[in-house]
Chain A
């Protein structure tokens, strides 16, 4: 047994299929887990992160029970950032409560933040929820536990004398605090090298050409897409963040240098909170990457079309081996795109941007969706047509796909379904929990997406996305 102050567990989603082994999905660790672990570790509390899916991949006989025989933590932190972890996070919490005589179990992340009170009401083995950013609250918690006075812990929902309390202290990191966090100390994760070897944003756990690192550039967003649980309003509600926050370029460079040292070949970067309105931050960052001679590729997601200058600077900066730019027009119909996306661009702007990317020899990944507000079969037909057209005209498009929208807690459509023309099938945390429990047990579920729209049934939403992908495959062969 290893005595440890804080054990952070990533609850990989397990889906039971007919094959003897479970399917492991949502294997990516939230970047914040590393920053939290590093921050509390640097402040004198021993910390380790365990990724349950990775452990299972490396050792087929791995169980949570066996894991808890290895550690005696004072605090068990479980990330419940993404809703697909709803069941597994709670399953792990329950096992921990039954295993340890004295353990404090705390959950955090967007999903946990969205349903903080419900979680504490319905799952008695959860002791507390950190709502919003958690680096400093987790340190506060470790400091406060000996005195049993949790009221001083910021952002905390907790139990006291049988009732649920919310601490009065609110915390959302300042620029200075944010820059004091390290997102690159991945060695705090058990078997970190295998994590880098195997993880990929598409959940494919096989070994691959590139080694991906997850680059934290900032937090927050300036706009609201109808389907996104991380938009401006959700950020205000869950974290108190009213404006996007960038890490200083110097800190990002520090992370990239560590990535290069670890032979991470591709930095995954998904932070573009103002779209084309301003990307000055990146011009400086790109210049610094070149100046520091950091050799790295990037899978870079832009949330809006970019200028010619951006593409040129981008091309100059990164190693082309595994470099791609990703854009998600979502719909082939401009009205539907405008209705749903925080950053709108017309088809003509999209084509101009694709032309620029082609001229600058930049490989592109394009993503579409089904299940958008207002979308009809006719609109989907336009999405399909647009997909075919771009594949035909832009040979630099290396990947094109359509995914059905899953209901995200905290998204505008979740908070106001009527306004967004959808009917909710998941309304509270327990709906997500039971659905993912059924997935884990191999039991049929009544809803996968958690909603249907006024114009499309859930079956249609899934079927159309699948049809799009089949058509693109046929078209590109």
Chain B
């Protein structure tokens, strides 16, 4: 049986595991047109490649495995590929992962050495559903739906270790009820030397990675093309209800950004919910997720102040559950704080890495 790699996004993927696409150039997605390119060693490489492993017999094609891939230039100036959780399109032997990796190597071999980063979704036995976003990229799978179309995690680990992957980091998503948070985040947490603002008329805040501390651990490690990832070296956002920022005097000291859980929108809006902003405005969401944050200094009171203001804003909008992700497991400052105020881990991302 000959198995090959193809650049395309199968329809069956969307039927099996619904996903959201929320990059800035989301409008080009329904037209299926190519995405922007990054230039590396005089080669133009798409910043986004949907990779499908398939088997062809005559006119009949059977799709086997799928990953989204995001080529990017890493901090050392080398080409790296970030791969999302591999999704089974047809049940097959675990060794198919090796075929996928071999084909990937072949695909990129003309360009030279690449580092592979693979994101694995770990759904913990909980009644909670991971809220949007569920990936470091702008492709978020409905993580709860993944379990039927994926190998057991243990198998992934075995196969990927065999293939030379090592665990690079483990990123956690926490959840807590808004009611609990409002009780635990005391009044004294709200007003500190820092001024918490959420509205500065007409102001766009531009922050570079260097402006914030390693509290946002993942920012440090990935700097994808701006529009394809939440993690970019520089981001600009409008200050408002979804972006809570803090100043000390005139100096910017920290921010939290949150989003309603777009998976709660009617399925009809998938996979491009941003085409329907009116619906996002009017829909009553039950869960909100803090998905990006940065602090200039690791100050517990500062973070709690920002969190309190965020939770209040969520509450005003009728949201009753707050999630926050993705926090590096080794970030003691945040993990211990979140534990203390009542958050529980409901989902995690394991990032494995391999130098090819």
Chain A residues proximal to chain B, CB less than 8 Å: 187, 193, 197, 200, 202, 204, 206-212, 258, 261-263, 265-266, 295-297, 299, 315, 319-324, 358, 361, 363, 365, 395-396, 398-399, 476
Whether B56 is near chain A, meaning CB under 8 Å from some CB there, is: yes
Q: Which of B12, B56, B271 contacts A295 (CB 8 A)?
A: B12
On whether the beta carbons of B61 and A263 are closer than 8 Å, the reply is yes
Inter-chain CA distance A374–B33, complex, in Å, is 35
A398 and B28 in contact, given A209-B50, A319-B11, A319-B15 (Cβ under 8 angstroms): yes
Cβ of B29: which chain A residues have Cβ within 8 Å of it? Answer: 209
Residue of B nearest to A207 (CB): B7
Inter-chain CA distance A421–B169, complex, in Å, is 69
Q: A206-B46, A265-B10 are in contact. List 19 more A-B contacts (CB 8 A).
A: A197-B6, A200-B32, A202-B33, A206-B34, A207-B7, A207-B8, A208-B8, A208-B32, A261-B59, A262-B60, A263-B63, A266-B32, A295-B15, A297-B11, A321-B9, A361-B268, A361-B276, A399-B27, A476-B27
On whether the beta carbons of A209 and B56 are closer than 8 Å, the reply is no
Cβ of A365: which chain B residues have Cβ within 8 Å of it? Answer: 31
Inter-chain CA distance A211–B270, complex, in Å, is 19
On whether the beta carbons of A321 and B34 are closer than 8 Å, the reply is no
Q: What is the interface of chain B mostly: helix, strand, loop, or mixed?
A: mixed
A395 and B271 in contact, given A202-B33, A262-B61 (Cβ under 8 angstroms): no
A209 and B11 in contact, given A262-B61, A361-B268 (Cβ under 8 angstroms): no
Q: How far is the CB of A186 from chain B (nearest CB, A)?
A: 8
Residue of B nearest to A399 (CB): B31
Inter-chain CA distance A396–B15, complex, in Å, is 22
Cβ of A396: which chain B residues have Cβ within 8 Å of it? Answer: 275-276
On whether the beta carbons of B33 and A363 are closer than 8 Å, the reply is no
On whether the beta carbons of B32 and A322 are closer than 8 Å, the reply is yes
On whether the beta carbons of B34 and A398 are closer than 8 Å, the reply is no
Q: Which of B46, B275, B277 contacts A398 (CB 8 A)?
A: B275
On whether the beta carbons of B271 and A210 are closer than 8 Å, the reply is no
Q: List 19 A-B contacts (CB under 8 A).
A: A197-B6, A206-B34, A208-B32, A209-B9, A210-B31, A261-B59, A263-B10, A295-B12, A297-B11, A320-B30, A320-B268, A320-B270, A321-B9, A322-B30, A361-B276, A365-B31, A398-B30, A398-B275, A399-B28
On whether the beta carbons of A361 and B269 are closer than 8 Å, the reply is yes
On whether the beta carbons of B33 and A209 are closer than 8 Å, the reply is yes
Cβ of B275: which chain A residues have Cβ within 8 Å of it? Answer: 361, 363, 395-396, 398
On whether the beta carbons of A211 and B8 are closer than 8 Å, the reply is yes
Whether B237 is near chain A, meaning CB under 8 Å from some CB there, is: no
Cβ of A299: which chain B residues have Cβ within 8 Å of it? Answer: 31
Whether B14 is near chain A, meaning CB under 8 Å from some CB there, is: yes
Residue of B nearest to A210 (CB): B32
On whether the beta carbons of A395 and B15 are closer than 8 Å, the reply is no
Whether B272 is near chain A, meaning CB under 8 Å from some CB there, is: yes
Inter-chain CA distance A296–B11, complex, in Å, is 7
Cβ of A261: which chain B residues have Cβ within 8 Å of it? Answer: 59-61
A321 and B7 in contact, given A209-B33, A263-B54, A399-B27 (Cβ under 8 angstroms): no
Cβ of B11: which chain A residues have Cβ within 8 Å of it? Answer: 265, 295-297, 319, 321-322
Q: How far is the CB of B109 from chain A (nearest CB, A)?
A: 17
Chain B residues proximal to chain A, CB less than 8 Å: 6-12, 14-15, 27-34, 46, 49-50, 54, 56, 58-61, 63, 268-272, 274-278
On whether the beta carbons of B27 and A398 are closer than 8 Å, the reply is yes
Inter-chain CA distance A9–B46, complex, in Å, is 32
Cβ of A210: which chain B residues have Cβ within 8 Å of it? Answer: 8-9, 31-32
Residue of B nearest to A263 (CB): B61
Cβ of B54: which chain A residues have Cβ within 8 Å of it? Answer: 263
Cβ of B14: which chain A residues have Cβ within 8 Å of it? Answer: 319-321
Q: How far is the CB of B342 from chain A (nearest CB, A)?
A: 37
On whether the beta carbons of A395 and B59 are closer than 8 Å, the reply is no
Inter-chain CA distance A208–B8, complex, in Å, is 6
Inter-chain CA distance A296–B12, complex, in Å, is 9
Inter-chain CA distance A322–B59, complex, in Å, is 22
Cβ of B6: which chain A residues have Cβ within 8 Å of it? Answer: 197
Interface centre among A209, A210, A315, A476, by most B CB within 10 Å? A209
Q: How far is the CB of A188 from chain B (nearest CB, A)?
A: 11
On whether the beta carbons of B34 and A204 are closer than 8 Å, the reply is yes
On whether the beta carbons of B7 and A197 are closer than 8 Å, the reply is yes
Cβ of A358: which chain B residues have Cβ within 8 Å of it? Answer: 276
Q: How far is the CB of B179 from chain A (nearest CB, A)?
A: 34
Inter-chain CA distance A210–B56, complex, in Å, is 18
Inter-chain CA distance A265–B10, complex, in Å, is 7
Residue of B nearest to A187 (CB): B59
Inter-chain CA distance A361–B268, complex, in Å, is 7
Inter-chain CA distance A211–B13, complex, in Å, is 14
Interface centre among A204, A266, A324, A396, by most B CB within 10 Å? A396
Cβ of A361: which chain B residues have Cβ within 8 Å of it? Answer: 268-269, 275-276
Cβ of A193: which chain B residues have Cβ within 8 Å of it? Answer: 56
Cβ of B46: which chain A residues have Cβ within 8 Å of it? Answer: 206-207
Cβ of B15: which chain A residues have Cβ within 8 Å of it? Answer: 295, 319
A321 and B271 in contact, given A206-B34, A210-B8, A266-B32 (Cβ under 8 angstroms): yes
Inter-chain CA distance A320–B20, complex, in Å, is 12
Cβ of A399: which chain B residues have Cβ within 8 Å of it? Answer: 27-28, 31
Q: How far is the CB of A387 from chain B (nearest CB, A)?
A: 15
Inter-chain CA distance A208–B37, complex, in Å, is 12
Residue of B nearest to A200 (CB): B33
Inter-chain CA distance A265–B15, complex, in Å, is 12
Cβ of A476: which chain B residues have Cβ within 8 Å of it? Answer: 27
Q: How far is the CB of A289 from chain B (nearest CB, A)?
A: 13
Cβ of A295: which chain B residues have Cβ within 8 Å of it? Answer: 11-12, 15
Residue of B nearest to A360 (CB): B268
Inter-chain CA distance A265–B274, complex, in Å, is 22
Inter-chain CA distance A476–B50, complex, in Å, is 26
Inter-chain CA distance A187–B10, complex, in Å, is 20
A208 and B33 in contact, given A265-B9, A295-B11 (Cβ under 8 angstroms): yes
Closest 5 CB pairs of A and B: A210-B32, A207-B7, A209-B32, A398-B27, A206-B34
